[in-house]
Structure 1
């Protein structure tokens, strides 16, 4: 028995899917301790949009550390934080005419969601939050209460309440269910308390790569405004360019009241999360929501460097172009396996192959690992093979990975 089996909790998951001991990483590849390379179409569950050990980010980080600069500062003022806030305002917020205050709630995405839920309830004085089928918002209790997955919810060990689940766009193959929500909000006999907020992902990664259409998102924003309900967009996995633009909601032309960011925000895999909120919602008392690691300075440094990728429109265009190549390849694979593949889903550089038999998706990921490609499954039954390559993946690497995927689907469907 090795030290991992001896000491590590049974809760571990990725190490079971990928029985390798990884040692080094660069760009779109990981290497195990024997030197075997693996092409990474997982990208730290979306935390490595710019790849592993991106040279530009690493140089900024090493220079900062070599200067004995501040590493831990709670919410004190630091040079690194100031530079990040100035860059974030100049490169991200101002060009999009977004007026947000920036809160550092803690190091992980679920901290950003918890802060958003608490703030919405504090501001409105209401308790109920509306979420959607197949949603995933994190593993802490507040986030689990607005998450759809039964297995994850079951791990809470307590009753999860103060939330109502509504159908996501195209649930049951219908284009919209918002009239149902509106009717329930209007009807005093519906049993739905006036909500504090609605929380939504514009594209559900963990839930099975379900995409919400721009019209549906626009209608949802309009509904929230008319009913005095705050709109929270969870952009933790789909933000920072994963779907093309920096924010995934830009495609719908909406301005959420609150936005949750994390994962690739630091650009380097360092923990960093933000909750963005309209200035009039900033009713916090000092220290009312805090944490020891709410914005570490090395993460500010790499996050500032990562914003250099967004000073022009190059990355967004490249991501959308690569996404079309992925779509074409997946549709070809689906056409070759019509009896096995139920649907191709995605946008930008997040894609999914949904299988009629959930066992097939796991078999595909196992076959891909054997061939040197890392991917994970998603969806309530793990029925979707999910692709999350780094945005910086080269055209050659993308073609290589898609070829491995095609061979892996062939192998899994032949069994």
Structure 2
């Protein structure tokens, strides 16, 4: 990008009025003005390619034209926007389309719960219903997991920094090693099976296991399909429910609608949010097998669980999944991203570690964790937005909208590679 910033934008209002908890605006120091698909522009007219996509909430791009038209038409017709959990035409249409496009082709009969507008709402509902359905209290979770920022979700999140923000003890969770946590030569599933089989291990039988097929915030760690199948079998043998958190990895991020589609498993509970809202609109789902759906009416609720604009946008977004073309488009972009990442990793092997991720969420783990953050700074100066992940922020993460034009993807990858070159030059000087 030919980004020429003559003077730094003023962020006084944000510095003076917004809480110190603000985060992303500290990394991307400008005031954004408009956006279209995979690009943003700030108030000074500078253009940026977006390899962050709202932390996965914008799989279908900024201001998707087809979805926007549906939203505008709905608003101009005085469509209901807020309805709690009352029945509306918008919700009826979404539920019907979701069943036809997503559930039926997989042979599933999961019930759809609207727990509230964000991912952590979906997880909280999943944890509560798992305990209610099994009568047990603990939840088995994994190293480097991230499931949300409310107390229940934090209790099954591994990141020490995030957990510290709770201010109270986080309990009723049992952490186990994720696939590959000890390296390729250690079978973590055998370790977990042993602890749950041994009455002397001190590990109580959990109500459920909550897992991500790919750990986005945890460093782009991807579980093998075999490991996920063994986890499902373990859950069945022990009467534990399997909760699959697909909040960031769902809606096509890894190539198919669900990140676990090719593993051949059927989770008892699935958590969706972020891009299920289609247009970056707040929306979340907790999918439940019918036998688990034992809620009393109103036992779990939320004022904004009836976001009808989300229903409208989500319904239109499902059109991408009516045939196989979108999945093929994602895979072609995945391959292009992988080529660049592997070339960079090989070129700078002393600085870069392994290439991680799957689909259109990939990245490089740096041997010095701070280099990933510095790379993000250099890329932003050249007009590319990318973030870091991992327990030490050591992974530079590429996560563009799934709808990114191929030429824009190429431009972004060039900026990324040039930024790595600049980073390597800095390292030589230091």
What range is the shorter-chain TM-score in? Answer: over 0.9
Q: Which residue number in structure 1 is paired with residue 84 of structure 2? A: 74
Distance in 2, Cα, partners of 1:176 & 1:134 = 17
Q: Does structure 1 conserve the Cα–Cα contact (< 8 Å) formed by 2:86 and 2:306? A: no
Q: Is the 8 A contact 1:133 1:165 kept in 2?
A: yes
Q: Is the 8 A contact 1:360 1:413 kept in 2?
A: no
Equivalent position SS for 2:174: strand
Aligned residue number for residue 185 of structure 1: 196
Match of 2:141 in 1: 131
Deviation, 1:176, is 3.0
Alignment map for 1:354-369 (pairs within 5 Å): 354-369=365-380
- Quote the offset at 1:266 in angstroms: 1.1
Distance in 2, Cα, partners of 1:168 & 1:251:
19
Q: Distance in 2 between matches of 1:325 and 1:15?
A: 29
**Is 2:159–2:391's contact at 8 Å kept on the other side of the alignment?**
yes
Matching of residue 273 in structure 1 with residue 284 in structure 2: yes
Name the counterpart of 2:32.
22
Work out which of the residue numbers 294, 299, 308 in structure 2 matches 1:283. Answer: 294
| Equivalenced residues, count | 415
Q: 2:185 aligned with 1:162, yes or no?
A: no
Counterpart in 2 of 1:395?
406
Partner in structure 2 of residue 111 of structure 1: 121
Per-residue Cα deviation, 1:14-72 (whole angstroms, up to 9, x for no partner): 00000000010001001100111100000000000010000000000000001011000
Q: What is the distance in 2 between the residues matched to 1:353 and 1:50?
A: 24
SS in 2 for 1:380: coil
Does structure 1 residue 122 correspond to structure 2 residue 161?
no
How many Å apart are 1:359 and its aligned residue? 1.2
Deviation at 1:209, TM superposition (A): 0.5
Q: Deviations over 1:263-292 (max 9, x none)?
A: 000110000000000000011000000000
User: What do residues 380-414 of structure 1 show as CA deviations (whole Å, max 9, x unaligned)?
Assistant: 10000011100001111111111100011111121
Shift of residue 295 of structure 1? 2.9
Q: Which residue of 1 aligns with 2:61?
A: 51
**Distance in 2 (alpha carbons) for counterparts of 1:222 and 1:413:** 46
Cα offsets for 1:346-390 (capped at 9, x unmatched): 111000110000111011000000000000000010000011100
Distance in 2 separating the partners of 1:141 and 1:344: 32
Q: Unaligned regions of 5+ residues in structure 2, if any?
A: 1-10
Instruction: Say yes or no: does 1:318 pair with 2:324.
Output: no
The runs of 4+ residues in structure 1 deviating greater than 3 Å are none
Query: Whole-Å Cα distance in 2 between the matches of residues 135 and 413 of structure 1?
Result: 31
Give the secondary-structure state (helix, strand or coil) at the position aligned to 1:248: coil
Structure 1 Cα separation of the partners of residues 306 and 220 of structure 2: 29
2:338 aligned to 327, 334, 350, which one?
327
Is this contact kept in 2: 1:145–1:160, CA < 8 A?
A: yes
Using the TM superposition, give the Cα deviation of residue 179 of structure 1 relative to its aligned residue in structure 2, in angstroms.
1.0
> Normalization by structure 2: what TM-score?
0.96
**Where does residue 243 of structure 2 map in the other structure?**
232
